[in-house]
Amino acid sequence: MKTNQRPKLVFVLSDLHCGSTLAVLPPGFQTLEGNVVSLNAVQKWFWKCWLVSDAWIRETAGSDPYALVINGDLIEGNHHRTMQIISPDVADHAAAAIDLLTPLAKSAAKVFLVRGTECHTGSIENSIGKALRAQPAPDGAGAWDRLLLDVNGVRCVFRHHIGTSTRLALSLTQLGVQLAEEQLEAARAGDPLPKVLCCAHRHKFDHGGNHKGIVVVSPPWQALTRFGHKVVSQARTYPGVFALDFRGQESGEIPRVRSCIFEPPTPDSVAL
């Protein structure tokens, strides 16, 4: 949906990890060598969730223009000798991400990409951003290290990384600390005070705050890998997408956070 009207709706996706055997992948995807990748049970579930989230985005937006921010880790990459990838060629991972995101990007008024974790993505997110016709960074690159958006009089910060914690009880505390640091640094520099901080990386949807500011962490589109089982084996994956909705808000007012989050299947157990 291309329009000259300024969007007051921002959809945020992150941690797609395309190329992982445990992440979302379009059906019938074909590698550069011509091999068609069949979806396993995990990927089939993610794809069903993706179709529902795509419909949710379009229903939520209606006829209103929206911006799309893809907040890092678009691909899995060939890292740490992992065997849980569809191909050792990261160009295949990038092609899968482009196939997945192109329909949403074409409908968006503006598209922005934020760089993720270097061991996963290298610099290929710049190329993905250009393929999706994303808004270039000041240096001309297709992806940003740190994105500042001013929406309806509100400074919003988008960055991929945020500290992680294995203690659920401390997760909201970490969010508050991160927002406070953003606001203190901005105040010291004389910059507009950010009221919205959007991060990703920790593979767990979370949000919190008050009328002075909010923090939202994107849900992931990848199930636990072998490394994940090593560090947080008890964790569950809740994929989804969220929106910052400024429609109907006064200038400078905190946006409403809307989300479409999916419950994972109940883990199998063995009865003795």
**Residue 164 maps to a domain:** yes
**Residue 25 maps to a domain:** yes
On average, the pLDDT of the chain sits at 92
**Residue 36 maps to a domain:** yes
Residue 1 has pLDDT above 80, yes or no: no
Average pLDDT over residues 179-198: 95
What are the strands of the beta sheet with 194-199, ordered from one edge? 147-151, 154-158, 194-199, 213-217, 206-210
**Residue 83 maps to a domain:** yes
Positive/negative CA dihedral, 189, 194, 200, 203: positive
**CATH code of the domain covering residue 256:** 3.60.21.10
In terms of Cα–Cα distance, which of 244, 252, 247 is closest to 64? 247
Domain, as residue range, for 20:
9-261
**Residue 66 maps to a domain:** yes
Per-residue pLDDT of 77-127, as tens digits, reads 998 889 999 999 999 999 999 999 999 999 999 999 999 999 899 889 999
Q: Which helix (H) or strand (E) holds 90?
A: helix 90-107
Q: How many domains does the chain have?
A: 1
User: Which pTM was predicted?
Assistant: 0.93
**Residue 254 maps to a domain:** yes
Q: What percent of the residues of the chain are helix, what percent strand, and what percent coil, each to the nearest 5?
A: 30, 20, 50
Least confident interval from 80-94, 159-173, 228-242, 250-264: 159-173
Average pLDDT over residues 231-253: 93
